[in-house]
Amino acid sequence: MGRKSQSKQNQKKSTGKENNKLYLQKRKELAFLVDRVLRLTSIFQATGNVSKSWEHHLEIEKLVNEITNIEGTQLRNTRTLRQTHIDKYLQWLRENGVQFDGIEIAEFKGYDLGLKALKDFTEGSLILTIPSKVMITEKNAKESELSAFIAVDPLLQNMPNITLALFLLLENNNPDSFWKPYIEVLPEKYSTILYYTSEELELLKPSPVFESSLKLYRSIARQYAYFYKKIHTLDIPVLKKLQEVFTFDSYRWAVSTVMTRQNNIRLSEADVTAFIPLWDMCNHEHGEIRTDYNNELNRGECYALRDFKTDEQIFIFYGARPNADLFLHNGFVYPNNQHDSLSVTLGISSGDPLREIKMSLLTKLGLGCVTHYSLFKRQNPIGPELLAFIRIFNMNQGPDDFELTVRVF
């Protein structure tokens, strides 16, 4: 028995060494790939050449795929799991003062989950109140153990949405998190372009949103590589925890959660980025913004944007946003969007003999750095910025000609 036991111990030691050796090898491969992503996303400069942008994207995507193959996935991956936590989530909301009488979470075809009316609501009636204590805000992140990292990182200091994403990753891995019931009902993945395959992205080529999609993917890939290096090199206690959960898949999930759910609320005379539980399950419909933050009662308040009948889905208005913006940051488009617009890229040619004068005039109008203008879906599709650009672009003599052009228009 003694020899067999000793033999088993030797086998375990041998297996442990092999596993450790394999781990170190994979970690080395991962570090090499991360460096390549960081370099590749740093050197690229937009040229307006769609083919070159696409080739560059494919290079980045190939590296990211290699990275995800090594990292594996650490996120929940079954849709039914989200559904099983709803009862516990609703109980948590009630225990913490969220008021939603006459409302339940339900599944709607084409929408996934949403809020369903269990009684009639008239337009303007109060339907939801959400105390600030259940919200997850950048303030929570800054007051957490993540603060030590925020203090030394300029990116986190200037981008609260990214701060919120990293805080979400930490809380997602914390079994004792106060927000655990909320996090458990978040989607396992999203319909944002960060989850698109190259084949799906390529279908966007005829669309003006194509290059914006590539830019967004490139930005998130760069952020991932940037934070990976920081997390694995800086000696800050909280980064040890992030090492356990920070992968491209987990970061993509956290960023997509922020993009699709973040809202700005005013706390203590300052605007902060926040997740607002239950309210963020409302889907979008055209109308008016009927949500506000009550500073006296420290709660968010949502009022019905129209009459809602029993068993009907309750919608809110996300704001006057074009479909390109909704598609990029929320993962959907809204049919017959009254606020839709087409983004066009315009500029003054470097060979224009009046370029210096034209750029000076554009700068005086606050348009010197503007390269994208919008054509709106309305009776008068040309906005004041585009109209000003057209006037200056067509100027063919000098400032006097510009004054004449203004009068003609």
DSSP labels, 70-92: HH---S---HHHHHHTHHHHHHH
Q: What is the pLDDT of residue 100?
A: 96
Per the model's pLDDT, the better-predicted residue between 237 and 74 turns out to be 237
Scanning 262-353, the segments in alpha helix (DSSP H) are 323-330
Inter-CA distances, 93 with 90, 98, 120, 273, 276, Å: 5, 5, 22, 20, 11
| CB neighbour burial string for 2-13, b if at least 16 within 10 angstroms, e if fewer | eeeeeeeeeeee
Average pLDDT over every residue of 200-229: 94
Q: Which of 311, 369, 371 is nearest to 114 (CA)?
A: 311
Per the model's pLDDT, the better-predicted residue between 392 and 167 turns out to be 167
Q: What is the pLDDT of residue 44?
A: 65
pLDDT at 33 > cutoff 50: yes
Average pLDDT over every residue of 219-237: 97
Measure the CA–CA gap between 27 and 21, rounded to whole angstroms. 10
Tally of helices (H runs) and strands (E runs) in the chain: 17, 12
Q: What is the DSSP letter of 382?
A: B
In one-letter notation, the amino acid at residue 144 is S
Angle at 407 between CA 403 and CA 409, to 5 degrees: 115
Q: What is the DSSP letter of 282?
A: P
Measure the CA–CA gap between 136 and 89, rounded to whole angstroms. 15
Q: What is the pLDDT of residue 395?
A: 84
Average pLDDT over every residue of 102-120: 94
Give the position of tokens 């006296």.
296
Residue 304 near residue 124, CB atoms below 8 Å: yes
Calculate helix-pair angle for 2-43, 209-233, nearest 10 degrees: 130
In one-letter notation, the amino acid at residue 210 is F
Provide long-range contacts, Cβ within 8 A and 24+ apart, for 63-71. 63/33, 63/36, 63/37, 63/221, 64/37, 64/221, 64/248, 66/33, 67/30, 67/33, 67/34, 67/37, 67/248, 68/247, 68/248, 68/249, 70/26, 70/29, 70/30, 70/33, 71/30, 71/247, 71/248, 71/249
- Average pLDDT along the chain: 87
- Return the minimum-mean-pLDDT range out of 29-38, 121-130, 146-155, 379-388: 379-388
| 174 backbone dihedrals φ, ψ, rounded to 5° | -100, 105
Q: What is the pLDDT of residue 409?
A: 40
- Whether the CA torsion 315, 108, 333, 196 is positive or negative: it is positive
pLDDT at 404 > cutoff 50: no
Q: What is the pLDDT of residue 408?
A: 36
Q: What is the pLDDT of residue 183?
A: 96
Measure the CA–CA gap between 94 and 350, rounded to whole angstroms. 62
Calculate helix-pair angle for 399-408, 384-393, nearest 10 degrees: 130
375: confidence class by pLDDT, cuts 50, 70, 90: confident
Give the position of tokens 């919008």.
374
Residue 320 near residue 339, CB atoms below 8 Å: yes
Average pLDDT over every residue of 215-242: 96
Quote the tokens at residue 265: 């609320």
Measure the CA–CA gap between 30 and 323, rounded to whole angstroms. 37
Give the position of tokens 């039914």.
80
Residue 58 near residue 198, CB atoms below 8 Å: yes
